[in-house]
């Protein structure tokens, strides 16, 4: 068993050595983690060190640097082995320690209940610890976004090895993942992790009914492998040149196939999906990567070459926009009726498409007040000045007013949407890309007058707005 773990670790070293990158820190981190986890086993009976090695291997394959991979190997030593962050800083460096801190849960023994927080309760300590641990992840991750990807890789491996747990425990872990991990991955546009984590959750939730669908999905891809590889060969021959530098591809995950089939055939049962229905939707993403030219020129070259060289093999049948990355894609059908999504990306865009926005810009994308509202789909809404804000789908203009500023929320006296001359009420729900001007009442000194009413609780849907109102009326009643 330990030989197998060493072999998996050697894959990490091979990746770095092929790229002529140092492995000194990684080797040191592996020895350190192996020593600290010595004798510990996972629930499935495997040596515990196998888990951090798998997490690190995933990140190494995606091209993360030595600090990130080292932190992945060490990511459980603080939480499980009594190692301190000062120890990690001393042995490695501050960045590695920060990344480990990002993904380490808050220690129950050191945790102090925040009595000012409406969502904490001494009777539900486990839930409070979970909530605060994820808020800690978000707070630190905003400053060091690569920490999110360690958490994503950690959760992905845990979901893939969850069968040894009771099914109710599995569902509990899925619920936590859907509440925190998936929304963060979506916001970060971390496509690689978003799709794989969501797919594992999908398979766990539908475990009792999904067997036939998974079988049909597998049979379709195995039987179509030869045709697919032939299609890739044709695309390489026709498109690769000095400007189109690579063609990459991936099978579309099962959850997405099911979602797309469900959009075509309403109320279809997952246990009844056939290969014929699978054939009706795109099963492969093709990434055509260009360099040195403009996007429009790349598109023109691709379409021109397809028309000249591949008109008998491929037909463009539709266009769409990716819900995660917001990138446009073409849906293409081959002569066997197989469907593909063609994305045209730069090298940088392809990398970002995989791992997300790995820069300090992520701190600008996620506001502090939004941490309480990570659950569910998010939409983009603009302020009067054109600044983009992200808010939960289903939010009202009153929610949006509180998001801009608490004082503006309390002073709400109507709103104008998309330049309309009609003032709208606080319970009006927002949709994607609305531009909103919040109207407030002011006194003679220019100060905003508090307009809050108890009925406003019926008008808000975000936790942040509810929290503001609860605190306001609690203080008012004293």
pLDDT tens for each residue of 332-359: 999 999 999 999 999 989 888 888 766 5
Closest CA to 258 of 232, 277, 286, 235: 277
Question: What are residue 24's phi and psi, to 5 degrees?
Answer: -60, -50
**Could you tell me if 14 and 159 lie in one domain?**
yes
* 24 plus 169 within the same structural domain: yes
- Are 155 and 252 in the same domain? no
Q: Which of 306, 330, 355 is the last residue of a domain?
A: 355
Residue 363: pLDDT band (50, 70, 90) is very low
Same-domain pairing of 57 and 190:
yes
How many domains in the chain?
3
- Whether residues 30 and 129 fall in one domain: yes
Spatial distance between the Cα atoms of 93 and 377, rounded to a whole number of angstroms? 37
- Does some domain include residue 361? no
The residue-averaged pLDDT of 273-284 equals: 94
Confidence (pLDDT) at 246 = 96
* pLDDT > 60? residue 375: no
Of 104, 86, 87, nearest to 36 (Cα)?
A: 87
User: In the chain, how many H helices and how many E strands?
Assistant: 21, 9
pLDDT in tens, 24-51: 999 999 999 999 999 999 999 999 999 9
Last residue of a domain, one of 324, 355, 386: 355
Give the separation between CA 402 and CA 461, rounded to whole angstroms. Answer: 11
Which of 137-141, 367-371, 382-386 is least confident? Answer: 367-371
Q: Determine contact, residues 55/153, Cβ cutoff 8 Å.
A: yes
- Rounded CA separation 99/64 (Å): 13
- Domain range for 194 is 2-205
Same domain (yes/no): 142, 196:
yes
pLDDT of residue 457: 94
Q: Which value, in Å, is the radius of gyration of the alpha carbons in the chain?
A: 25
Instruction: Please give the average per-residue pLDDT across 74-101, as a whole number.
Output: 95
Q: Is a pLDDT exceeding 70 seen at residue 259?
A: yes
Looking at the structure, tell me whether residues 346 and 241 fall in a common domain. yes
Q: Which of 59-63, 350-354, 432-436 has the lowest mean pLDDT?
A: 350-354
Q: Is the pLDDT of residue 112 over 80?
A: no
CATH number at residue 429: 3.10.20.30
Is residue 449 included in any domain, yes or no? yes
pLDDT of residue 382: 92
Question: Is the same domain home to 107 and 249?
Answer: no
Residue 362 lies in a domain: no
Q: Report residue 108's pLDDT band, with 50, 70 and 90 as the boundaries.
A: low
Asked which of 188, 205, 222 is the last residue of a domain, the reply is 205
Instruction: Please indicate, yes or no, whether residues 27 and 148 belong to a single structural domain of this protein.
Output: yes
- Residue 397 CB partners (closer than 8 Å, separation 6+): 412, 415, 417, 424, 425, 426, 428, 430, 436, 438
The residue-averaged pLDDT of 52-71 equals 97
360 in a domain, yes or no? no
Q: Are residues 378 and 397 in the same domain?
A: yes
Give the pLDDT band (50/70/90) at residue 370. Answer: low
38-39-45-46 Cα dihedral, nearest 10 degrees? 20
pLDDT of residue 139: 80
pLDDT(313) > 50: yes
Q: Where are the alpha helices (DSSP H) in 113-253?
A: 125-143, 146-160, 167-176, 182-188, 191-205, 211-239
State the CATH number of the domain containing residue 233: 3.30.460
CA distances from 405 to 141, 165, 378, 431 (A): 23, 44, 19, 20
Alpha helices in 211-332 (DSSP H): 211-239, 254-264, 275-278, 295-309
Query: Can you list the positions of beta strands (E) in 418-477?
Result: 436-440
Looking at 20-29, 127-136, 192-201, which range is the least confident one?
Answer: 127-136
Report yes or no on 96 lying in a domain: yes
Q: Is 477 exposed, middle or buried (0-12, 13-18, 19+ CB in 10 A)?
A: exposed
How large is the average pLDDT for residues 414-428?
90
Q: Are residues 178 and 284 in the same domain?
A: no
pLDDT over 50 (residue 360): no
Q: Do 217 and 249 reside in the same domain of the chain?
A: yes
Length of the chain measured in residues? 478
Mean pLDDT score of the chain: 89
- In this predicted structure, the answer to whether residue 126 has a pLDDT above a threshold of 80 is no
Domain containing 158 — which CATH number? 1.10.3210.10
pTM of the predicted model, to two decimals?
A: 0.81
Is the per-residue pLDDT at 321 higher than 90? no
> Does residue 174 surpass a pLDDT of 90?
yes
Range 68-74 average pLDDT: 98
Is the distance from CB of 12 to CB of 26 less than 8 angstroms?
Answer: yes
Please provide residue 214's backbone torsions phi and psi, each rounded to the nearest 5 degrees.
-60, -35
């Amino acid at each position: 068993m330990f030989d197998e773990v060493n072999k998996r670790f050697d894959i990490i070293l091979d990746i770095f050595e092929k790229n002529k990158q140092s492995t000194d820190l990684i080797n040191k981190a592996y020895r350190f983690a192996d020593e600290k986890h010595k004798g510990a086993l996972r629930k499935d009976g495997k040596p515990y060190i196998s888990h951090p090695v798998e997490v690190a291997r995933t990140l190494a394959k995606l091209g993360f640097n030595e600090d990130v991979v080292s932190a992945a190997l060490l990511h459980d030593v603080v939480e499980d082995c009594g190692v301190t962050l000062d120890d990690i800083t001393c042995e490695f460096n501050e960045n590695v320690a920060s990344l480990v801190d990002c993904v380490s849960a808050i220690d129950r023994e050191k945790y102090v209940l925040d009595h000012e927080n409406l969502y904490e309760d001494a009777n539900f300590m486990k839930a409070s610890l979970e909530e605060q641990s994820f808020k800690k992840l978000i707070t630190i991750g905003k400053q060091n976004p690569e920490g999110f990807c360690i958490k994503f890789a950690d959760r992905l491996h845990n979901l893939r090895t969850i069968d040894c747990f009771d099914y109710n425990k599995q569902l509990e872990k899925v619920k936590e993942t859907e509440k925190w991990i998936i929304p963060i991955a979506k916001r970060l546009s971390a496509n690689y992790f978003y799709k794989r984590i969501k797919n594992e959750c999908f398979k766990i939730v539908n475990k009792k009914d999904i067997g036939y669908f998974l079988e049909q999905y597998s049979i379709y891809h195995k039987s179509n492998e030869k045709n697919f590889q032939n299609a890739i060969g044709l695309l390489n021959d026709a498109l690769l040149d000095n400007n189109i530098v690579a063609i990459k591809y991936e099978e579309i995950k099962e959850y997405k196939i099911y979602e797309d089939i469900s959009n075509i055939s309403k109320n279809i049962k997952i246990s009844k999906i056939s290969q014929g229905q699978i054939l009706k939707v795109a099963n492969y993403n093709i990434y055509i990567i260009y360099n040195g030219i403009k996007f429009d020129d790349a598109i023109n070259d691709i379409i021109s070459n397809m028309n000249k060289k591949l008109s008998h093999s491929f037909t463009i049948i539709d266009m769409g926009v990716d819900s995660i990355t917001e990138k446009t894609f073409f849906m293409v059908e081959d002569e066997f009726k197989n469907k593909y999504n063609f994305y045209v990306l730069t090298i940088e865009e392809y990398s970002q498409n995989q791992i997300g926005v790995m820069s300090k810009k992520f701190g600008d994308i996620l506001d502090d007040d939004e941490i309480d509202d990570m659950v569910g789909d998010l939409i983009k809404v603009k302020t009067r000045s054109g600044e983009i804000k992200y808010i939960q789908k289903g939010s009202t203009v009153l929610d949006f007013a509180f998001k801009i500023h608490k004082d503006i929320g309390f002073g709400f006296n109507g709103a104008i949407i998309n330049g309309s001359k009609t003032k709208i009420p606080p319970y009006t729900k927002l949709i994607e890309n609305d531009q909103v001007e919040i109207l407030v009442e002011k006194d003679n000194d220019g100060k905003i007058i508090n307009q809050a009413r108890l009925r406003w609780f019926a008008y808000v849907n975000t936790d942040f707005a509810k929290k503001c109102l609860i605190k306001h009326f609690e203080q008012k009643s004293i």
